[in-house]
Structure 1
């Protein structure tokens, strides 16, 4: 897919639905994390602290300042919840776990919630 088209698609979605900015650090493979890097468009399930919300929900992400993120590295990301109405109230400081099945492959902290601009 054309990178400009992909960028425009996410920009349009952000204007329409908003997004969540978070600092994400991927867990290294020896601690149960991924063995390979992720890139923008990666779709994972996001878990919340059980006292906030017992379920997890899907959200693709966009890497803000890097092209790929390898296990053990950290970066600021934008989360685009597929069904935002099912997400609990999210605000700065909330800790999230990025999951692949039952494994936690990343840990994140919400920095900012950006509302829709349309």
Structure 2
């Protein structure tokens, strides 16, 4: 198996040559930091590039493996999550949890995809019952989310094609039993980037 540094170099080679991120860094800057052997910063930069530019699945897979070799577990988890979004699409929302007095949950949950509740996304069965679907939750910008709190989240459905009817502003509900465990307002639904990357390569 390649070492982490080789994996990061391979990931860099998958970026568009003229790519630039919001802080002004270019692909040449990434290579410069590689020459300086500042590998932690290289990984951070590459994750920024991946978040701002369409990249293939292999890009995030390489970063995930490199991060695990570097013992950076949270970074590895994020790269694995982003790999899933490239394959299946991105679903972002603002999730609000009821207070401990109003809801069933008494403690905060870890926000790196460990929680996999069921959701009512507005679909009904043939006999009029509510269809429920499982989706993991990643909390943006926070380690945990607790009762009475709200935060932007990313959702990873087990059946993403069943979620593509959602549009910004749609309200869905999270369930961990009764009563409702949380209410989410959709912010963004993005088609799988894998298809977008493939289309761009074919057009090029």
| TM-score between the two structures when normalised by the length of structure 1 | 0.88
Q: 1:1-118 counterparts in 2 under 5 A?
A: 2-38=73-109, 39-41=111-113, 42-49=115-122, 52-53=123-124, 54-87=130-163, 89-118=165-194
Matched position secondary structure for 2:161: helix
Structure 2, unmatched stretches of 5+, are 1-67, 125-129, 195-204
Pair member with larger Rg: 2
Matched position secondary structure for 1:76: strand
Offset at 1:75?
Answer: 0.3
User: Alpha-carbon deviations, 1:21-52, whole Å to 9, x = none?
Assistant: 10111111211231011222121111134xx5
Cα distance in 2 between the residues matched to 1:87 and 1:102: 23
Matched position secondary structure for 2:193: coil
Offset at 1:88?
Answer: 6.1
RMSD: 1.7
Offset at 1:89?
Answer: 1.1
Distance of aligned partners of 1:86 and 1:102 in 2 relative to their CA distance in 1, 3 Å threshold? farther
Structure with bigger helix share is 2
Instruction: Kindly indicate whether the alpha-carbon contact (under 8 Å) linking 1:25 and 1:72 is maintained by their aligned counterparts in 2.
Output: yes
Instruction: Kindly indicate whether the alpha-carbon contact (under 8 Å) linking 2:94 and 2:186 is maintained by their aligned counterparts in 1.
Output: yes
Structure with bigger strand share is 1
| TM-score between the two structures when normalised by the length of structure 2 | 0.53
Offset at 1:3?
Answer: 1.7
Number of residue equivalences: 116
Structure 1, unmatched stretches of 5+, are none
